[in-house]
Every structure is written in C-alpha cells, then in structure tokens.
Structure 1
Amino acid sequence: MFLRLLFVLLSALNIAVGAWLLLGQPYAHNGSAADPGVRELRLLSEMPQPVVTAAAPSAASSVAESQTAPVPPPVPVAQVNAAASRSSAPVPQICLALGPFATPQDLRNARQTLDAQVMRMRSRQEQTTQSNGWWVYLPATSNHAQALELARQLGAHNIKDYFVVSGGDQPNTVSLGLFKDPTNARKRRDEVVAAGFPARMSERSENVPEYWLDLVASNSPRFEWRSRVRASGVNSHSTSCF
C-alpha cells in the first residue's frame, strides 16, 4: 500500500516538473516579453540595411554643383536706398494764380484750355476797388437854394458845364465834371479856383468782381499757359499750393 502511494506521488511530481519545464520558461514559447502596445527593442545588427538607389549619386552631385556654383555679389544697401528714393521722390510742382479775368466766360475758357496740362485747378472770385474817374465839384451848401445861387455865380464868371446835385449821397453840391484822366481833372479844378470858387477834386471808385484761376502743374518746360490763354490783361503770380 505504501509503495503504491509513493508511486502515485512520484508520477504526479514528474508530471508537475514536466509541465513547468514546458510552460513556465520564457524561451519555451513564442510570446512577447514586452507589454502590449510597447515597442520591442532590437539590436542594430538585427535592423534591416537601407537600400541604396541609383538616384543617390545624382542627388549628391546636384548638391555639390549647387555648392560650387558662383553666387552673384550682393547689391550695396546705398544703391538700393538711392533707387527707392528716386522712385518715391515727389514730382516738382509749380503753383500759380492766373488773372484777373474780365468775365466768368473768360475764366471758363481758360479752365477748358489748361485742363490737360495741370494737376489741379480751382476758380475764385474776389471784390476789388476800381477807379471810376476823377470828380471836380464845389462842396455842398446848407440847402438847395444856396446851391442854385452858387451855380448862377459860376455862370456869371463864364464857367460852363456844371449842374446842381439834388439827391444821392452828395446833395446840394455843384458838380463840375467827371474825368478819366487826372491831369484834365486838375486843370478843371485850377480853372474854377482861379475864378474864386473853392473847387475840389476826388477820385471816384467802385467795387467790381475779379475772377482768378489757381492751378497746380508740374514744374517742367512743357508747361506754358501764355500761349494757350487768349484773354487780355491776364498775368500770373506764385501762390500757395492746395
């Protein structure tokens, strides 16, 4: 009985050792020693060798050629800045005021004529005082009756061409004439003064409109307005640019 039990124990022990030798050793089966998802470590000698293709020499030669090719010299910074400044330099301008034009139509004609030659234009109207002649007269009296009496005295001294002003801004004065030439006006005044009358002389003026054309043009010899504007009495002078 004891021998039979010993035989069974030995058999079980042999079976256990065989199973351990077969299943328990890491090199006994084809399983991976690394955890799932972890890349397996390999020796350099186990890595596959790269395949050298025929295009490699040509690529290397192209790199060598690009390294040995002549490189153009860099452009100096001063030349670059000078070229940039020339390209961005403003065009020289001239700013003129043309006038005065006698009528608005003369001004419009000048605008149409110079439109293609200038950069900018603007029209403007100004009021100016213009001489309307020289007036010779006797100062106003206290009333109209005294002015008429003074006029009769002029006739008695053989002084003609007069009349008594009865209205306006100079009532009860005796007008002795309106002259364009100041020389003729002085001659008339001196004649009446020599006859014993206090004749006076003054310039008459009035406000009249003037029409001007301001323009901005390129300052070049090609710009010449005088040969194009036909209105008489028109001149020019420098003015501020706009």
Structure 2
Amino acid sequence: MFVRVFFLLLLALNIGVACWLYFAPHAPVAAAAAADPGVAKLVLLSEADRSIATDSAAPTAQSAHPADSKKESCQSIGAFSTQADMRAAVKALTPLVARIQFRETRVTEVRGYWVYLPAPANRERALDIARQLSSKGITDYYVVTAGEQPNAISLGLFHEPTNAEKRLNEIRSLGFKPEMTQRSDEVPIYWVDYAQTGDAPFDWRAHVPVRSELHAQPIDCF
C-alpha cells in the first residue's frame, strides 16, 4: 500500500515539473552575429536593388530640374513682300540659328488714286456725260457697270498722287466736277523669326539678300 502511494506521488511530481517546464516563459536567445568581425555583411539581391533605387532617387529628382539652358535671344526680320523672298531667307538662316519660324500678317496698302466723276441718277445720264467728255477731247474714260459705284465715270487710276492731281485739274478745267479718292487693299506681308544662343552678335544681313525695307527687331522667344 505504501509503495503504491509513493508511486502516485512520484508520478504527480513528474507531471508538475513537466507542466512547469512547458508553460514557463523562455528567456530570449541572443541573436547570432551577422558575420565574423572584418567580414562584409551578406545582403540579399532584392535588398540591394531596393537600396540602389533609394539612393538613386535623389539624383533623379535633381535631373528633373536641369540647369538653366544657355541664354537665348530672338529677332524678327521683315517685312518680306513675297513668299519667295521669305522662304529664301528661311532656307539661308536655318543652319545658322537654334530655331526659326515664319509668320504672315496683313497690312493696308495704297493701290493708287482714282479720279472719277460721281455716278448720276441713271445709266442714260452717265452715257450722256461720257459723250460730253468725248466732245471735249477726253477719250480715256470708262463708265462703270458694276461694283460699289455703278454708272460712275472713271477717269484713271494713278500710282502717284501728283499725276492724279494733274488729271483732276485737267477735267475741272473743262467744266466738270471730278473727285479723287485713295484706293487701298489688305495685302499679306511675311516675317522670319529666329532664336540664337549666346551673346555673340549675329549678322543676318550677311546671309539674307540686303533690301532697304528689311529690318530686325527683338521679340519674345518662342
């Protein structure tokens, strides 16, 4: 009987010790050294890639804001009266400048001075006045049939105002009442704009045929 009791106590003691060992908190194990002293640390390839990407981020951000480009100046040459002259200038200057473009604008240009007799009330009256002119030796006239002033009697279109004034006085001396008006139209003109780098002067006239009407003026760069 005593032996059985002793055996049960010993069994209970063993079970208690086992439970204590199983459920007791474990002391942390010190991490082993990554490498022996003097030996380079082993780095995984994926970690190295991430490190390189991080290190290169700053230079990339800097490269997104490059240094200011070289100083530029821009000029506009004109005005060219024909596309042929403008294109010849573009062809000559293109290899010599940083950028080049052309543009078209429109201006009002005097075409001449028109001397005429104002239109009467009807066609019959206009023809009657024309016959009176013929009887006084004026044959270079024309009775207008259409346009803004039908039945007016044209006495000539002159490029020079002095010639127009002379004709005006001639017809007046015959007892008529002529008038003179300036004729003008909108015409296209052309400009060549170019950009150059640096401060060195650029003699565009050495490459573009020199014409007295051409000049250069500074413009905002494009």
Tell me which interval the TM-score lies in, with the shorter structure as reference length: 0.5 to 0.7
The corresponding residue for 2:85 is: 106
- How far off is 1:166 after superposition? 1.1
What SS does the aligned partner of 2:96 have? coil
Correspondent of 1:208 among 187, 191, 195: 187
For residues 159 and 199 of structure 1, the distance between their equivalents in structure 2, rounded to whole angstroms, comes to 13
Flag the structure with larger Rg: 1
TM-score (norm 1): 0.58
1:144 to 117, 120, 123: 123
Q: 1:129 to 1:107 in 2, by over 3 A?
A: same
The structure with higher relative contact order (CA 8 Å, sep 6+) is 2
Residue 172, structure 1, aligned to residue 143, structure 2: no
Q: Within 5 Å, which residues of 2 pair with 1:92-131? A: 92-131=71-110
Deviation of 1:91 (Å): 4.3
User: Structure 1 regions of 5+ residues with no counterpart?
Assistant: 1-36, 38-87
> How many percent identity over aligned positions?
40
Match of residue 25 from structure 1:
none
Deviates more, 1:170-179 or 1:123-132: 123-132
Does residue 241 (structure 1) correspond to residue 221 (structure 2)? The answer is yes
Structure 1 residues 149-168: aligned runs within 5 Å: 149-168=128-147
Kindly state the Cα deviation for residue 229 of structure 1 after the two structures are TM-superposed.
0.6
Give the CA deviation at 1:164.
Answer: 0.8
Pairwise CA RMSD? 2.4
Corresponding residue SS for 1:172? coil
- Per-residue deviation, 1:92: 4.4
In 2, distance between residues paired with 1:219 and 1:135? 52
**What SS is found at the alignment partner of 2:192?**
strand
Counterpart contact for 1:117–1:223, Cα < 8 Å: no
**Cα distance in 2, alignment partners of residues 130 and 228 from structure 1:** 28
| Normalised TM-score (structure 2) | 0.63
